[in-house]
Structure 1
Amino acid sequence: MSESSNRPPVSLSPGQWSFTRWRTVGQLEALDVNHPLFRATVFLQGAHLTHFAPRDEADWLWLSETARLEPGRAIRGGVPVCWPWFGAPERNAPEVKRRIHASQAHGFARTALWKLEDVRESAHEVEISLSLDANEDFRDLWSGHALALMTFNFSVRGCQIALTTTNLSSEPLAFSQALHSYFPTADISRSRVLGLGQSNYIDTLQEWDYRSQDGPVYFDGEVDRIYESGEPLTIVTPRGSRKLRTVGSDSTVVWNPGPEKAARLSDFPDQAWKKMLCVETANAAGDYRVLNEGQSHTLGVLIGRG
């Protein structure tokens, strides 16, 4: 999946960073990347990417105008990290569900404070790595011990995101997850997702029935589907297109809240559903993963030009 140049980014300490700076945004700490070729913003809370764009281009990601940057509150937009479970706890496989002691959807990683591991920079790329040790501190929410490592690689060609989970416990660990990527569009009614034709999917809005996709995915009101596919995809909007290439995924979530749910969502303007869509790289539904002691699994996506 990597599209690295011949000279890999060099690991640097804060005093040596050329393009990366600490910045407080709202009430949260972020790493701001201002490279001659591109820009990006990554928050320590949630290891959350909220902005990426090559120089002089519009943001490749969608961020709500009313997103609240506060401790303990998930950021609406960008790429939230759903981990170590995806969706409502009760909708997960029994092996995943039995570890969850909370009612909240999408796990705790997106509101947890991650640790900065490394910043690597070169003339062509910037790579940022953050980690979350899910240990006894989270026992009220979840039973398990795992290390999550999030790595972002930015270049003028695109944005590569990789989430690696390592089981640090002595017993098998089952988990589900997603990179909940939000993308902008000028008009949701003129947007579509290519590459899921002939895939089966779970329609969560129709009593979780299984259905089959015929042709591109279009948006006409609320859409919330879990596709049994990890194939390369293309998002086509009036603004242009983006290609998604994944690793470690055999499920893709496509979501748009539509007008009625948008009115109920927090930190989401009532009309914003017309200007965004989510295509999420996932291990969801039957695609949950199990790791034995010491094993690792990487879920990743490369967001590139269409």
Structure 2
Amino acid sequence: MPSDFSGKEVQSTTSGEVFGGDTALPCTAVTTDLCRAVVSHQGAQLLSFQPQGGEEWLWLSPLAQFASGSAIRGGIPLCLPWFGRHQSGDSLPKHGFCRLRDWDLVVVDRIDQAVCLRFEYASTEADLVLFPWRFRAEIQYRLSNNLVLELSIENLDETPMPLSFAMHSYFAVNSLANTRIEGIDQAEYLDNTRDLQRGHQREALVFGKEVDKVFPGLGGEQRLTDKLAPRYVAGRGCDTAIIWNPGNDSLADVGSHFSEFVCLERGIAFDDAQTLAPGHRWEALMSVSDKGRGLVV
């Protein structure tokens, strides 16, 4: 850890110490003059981000389970090396396996006023049973008064590697009924509630029932608004936008809390999915801010 970090800025902790519960996972907590954040080492998953003096930006389910090898509901899970249901069927884990693995915190640094945490995961022999390509993934969080995620995936194998992913952001909302997503009007989408039928989004999206829409090739910037401050999401190398809310209490680790969040994600999926040549790397950047100014870099 660089010498200019005080012991209070970056600390080792556990999910139990921060969020409570009977089980606990290793975490790193960041507290600066600009923000507070918590990252779980399992999945290198950002669980909380709150600008100082502001509201919590991310939603973490009150029913979330912090158990080794189990998905954590909320924050920003990293869904890779595939997004959604694997094309071979339900025998493989939905959204890949990297969110279920322990990542290594390899760098703690500072860029300007931002604290930067970089995590790394290298696939193992056991992973080859699920995904027969060796790869390395890195995620860097730049934490200041806004949030920047820099994700890279490198094919370490000798054959071309299929790749899709999502930075699966759960954003806290004050009222689902008063929430809307802008920046998607006149875009084409795949509707996952209707067997991926294609549709055309004619206006901003509002919520009254389950929404599970994938917008390949959208790019640009999307705006989430409700009674809380707006969230602006932009990206590079992650032109797929995914918007999801279950619309009911059918999920055990969501329950009646489904009206407290909206997922507005960026990644590459379906039409945007890639094939990485041996030795090649895919890089993506997603930024979240409360001011509409395009990509924060």
Q: TM-score, length-normalised on structure 1?
A: 0.88
**Aligned counterpart, 2:110:** 121
Q: Tell me how far apart the structure 2 counterparts of residues 110 and 256 of structure 1 sit (CA, whole Å).
A: 20
SS at match of 2:258: helix
2:66 is matched with 69
Structure 2 Cα separation of the partners of residues 218 and 159 of structure 1:
25
2:216 is aligned with 1:219: no
Instruction: Indicate yes or no: 2:296 matched with 1:273.
Output: no
Match of 2:30 in 1: 33
Q: Which residue of 2 aligns with 1:177?
A: 165
Report what 1:256 is aligned to: 245
Superposed displacement of residue 245, structure 1: 1.2
Structure 2 match to 1:6? none
Q: 1:61 to 1:15 in 2, by over 3 A?
A: closer
- RMSD between aligned alpha carbons? 1.9
The residue aligned with 1:304 is 289
CA spacing shift, 1:122–1:295, aligned 2, 3 Å: closer
Identity %: 29
Q: Structure 1's 217 and 15: CA in aligned 2 closer, same or farther, altered over 3 A? A: closer
Question: Structure 2, unaligned stretches of length 5 or more?
Answer: 17-23, 292-297
2:183 matched to 1:186? no
Deviation at 1:101? Answer: 9.3
Task: Give the conservation status (yes or no) of the 8 Å contact 2:238–2:286.
Answer: no
Secondary structure of the residue aligned to 1:130 is: strand
Aligned to 1:3: none
In structure 2, the CA distance between the partners of 1:15 and 1:211, relative to structure 1 (3 Å rule), is: closer
User: Counterpart of 1:130 in structure 2: which amino acid?
Assistant: F
Q: Deviations over 1:188-244 (max 9, x none)?
A: 111111111111000111221100001101111100011121221111111120111
Shift of 1:146: 0.6
Structure 1: gaps of 5 or more residues:
1-10, 91-96
Moved over 2 A (4+): 11-18, 100-103
Aligned residue number for residue 277 of structure 2: 292
TM-score after normalising by structure 2: 0.91
Task: Find the aligned partners of 1:150 and 1:55 in 2 and give their Cα distance.
Answer: 23
Q: Distance in 2 between matches of 1:197 and 1:122?
A: 35
Give the aligned length.
283
CA-CA distance at 1:102 after TM superposition = 4.2
Partner of 2:147: 159
Cα distance, 1:266 vs. partner?
2.7
Q: Letter of the 2:255 partner, please give it.
A: P
* Aligned pairs for 1:84-95 within 5 A: 84-90=81-87
Distance 1:186 1:211 in 2: 28
By how many angstroms is 1:134 displaced?
A: 1.2
Question: Which whole-Å deviations, capped at 9, do the CAs of 1:123-167 have from their partners, x for residues lacking one?
Answer: 7210000000013231222111110001000112x0001110011
Deviation readout 1:30-61 (Å, 9 max, x if unpaired): 00001122110011100000111111222111
Q: Is the 8 A contact 1:63 1:182 kept in 2?
A: yes
